Amino acid sequence: MSTTGDKHVHLLENKAQACCRFCGSELRHTFVDLGMSPLCESYLSLEQLNQMEPFYPLHVYVCDRCFLVQLQEYVKPEDIFTEYAYFSSYANTLLEHSRNYTQQMIERLHLDKDSFVVEVASNDGYLLQYFVERNIPSLGIEPAVNIARAAIDKGIPTLIEFFGTECAHRMAVEGKSADLIIGNNVLSQVPNLNDFVEGLKILLKPDGVITIEFPHLMNLITNNLFDTIYHEHFSYFSFSTAEKIFLAHGLVLFDLEELTTHGGSLRIYARHAQDDSKLVSGRVIEFKQREEQAGINDLAYYATFYEQVKETKRKLLDFLIKTKRQGKSIAGYGAPGKGNTLLNYCGIRTDFLDYTVDRNPYKHGKFLPGTHIPIYSPDMISETKPDYVLILPWNLKDEIMEQIGFIREWGGQFIVPIPEVKLYP
Candidate segments 8-16, 66-74, 351-359, 406-414, binder of Zn ion by CB under 5 A = 66-74
Return the bridge partners of 271, or none: 252
Candidate segments 16-24, 126-134, 220-228, 320-328, binder of Zn ion by CB under 5 A = 16-24
Q: Which of 346, 373, 319, 305 is nearest to 35 (CA)?
A: 346
CA dihedral 142, 146, 152, 157 (to 10 degrees): 10
**Length of the chain in residues, anyone?**
425
- The answer to the question of residue 270 lying near Zn ion (CB under 5 A) is no
Shortest distance, position 67 Cβ to Zn ion, whole Å: 7
Distances (CA, A) of 262 to 226, 258, 299, 360: 12, 11, 25, 19
**96 Cβ neighbours under 8 A, 6+ residues apart:** none
Toward Zn ion, which CB reaches closer, 67 or 305? 67
CA dihedral 166, 230, 414, 351 (to 10 degrees): 140
Q: Phi and psi at residue 79, in whole multiples of 5°?
A: -85, -15
- The answer to the question of residue 91 lying near Zn ion (CB under 5 A) is no
Toward Zn ion, which CB reaches closer, 18 or 173? 18
* Site for Zn ion, residues 25 to 54, rule: CB under 5 A: 25
Shortest distance, position 244 Cβ to Zn ion, whole Å: 9
Strand 178-184 with 204-215, pairing: parallel
Choose, by CB under 5 A, the member of 39, 44, 62, 63 that binds Zn ion.
63
Candidate segments 40-48, 56-64, 170-178, 226-234, binder of Zn ion by CB under 5 A = 56-64
Toward Zn ion, which CB reaches closer, 19 or 95? 19
Toward Zn ion, which CB reaches closer, 115 or 235? 235
Toward Zn ion, which CB reaches closer, 74 or 237? 237
- The answer to the question of residue 284 lying near Zn ion (CB under 5 A) is no
Shortest distance, position 191 Cβ to Zn ion, whole Å: 14
Helix (H, G, I), strand (E, B) or coil at 180: strand
Shortest distance, position 22 Cβ to Zn ion, whole Å: 5
- The answer to the question of residue 418 lying near Zn ion (CB under 5 A) is no
Toward Zn ion, which CB reaches closer, 66 or 209? 66
| DSSP assignment of 257-305 | EEE-GGGSEEEEEEEETT-TTSPPPHHHHHHHHHHHHHTTTSGGGGTTH
- The answer to the question of residue 65 lying near Zn ion (CB under 5 A) is yes
Toward Zn ion, which CB reaches closer, 21 or 338? 21
- The answer to the question of residue 20 lying near Zn ion (CB under 5 A) is yes
Choose, by CB under 5 A, the member of 17, 19, 23, 362 that binds Zn ion.
23
CA dihedral 405, 406, 408, 410 (to 10 degrees): -160
Toward Zn ion, which CB reaches closer, 35 or 295? 295
What is Dmax (Cα atoms) for the chain?
Answer: 67
Helix (H, G, I), strand (E, B) or coil at 62: strand
In 304-369, alpha helices (H)? 305-325, 337-346
Choose, by CB under 5 A, the member of 58, 60, 62, 66 that binds Zn ion.
66
Shortest distance, position 139 Cβ to Zn ion, whole Å: 32
- The answer to the question of residue 106 lying near Zn ion (CB under 5 A) is no
By CB under 5 A, the count of residues binding Zn ion is 8
> What are the residues binding Zn ion (CB under 5 A)?
20, 22-23, 25, 63, 65-66, 68
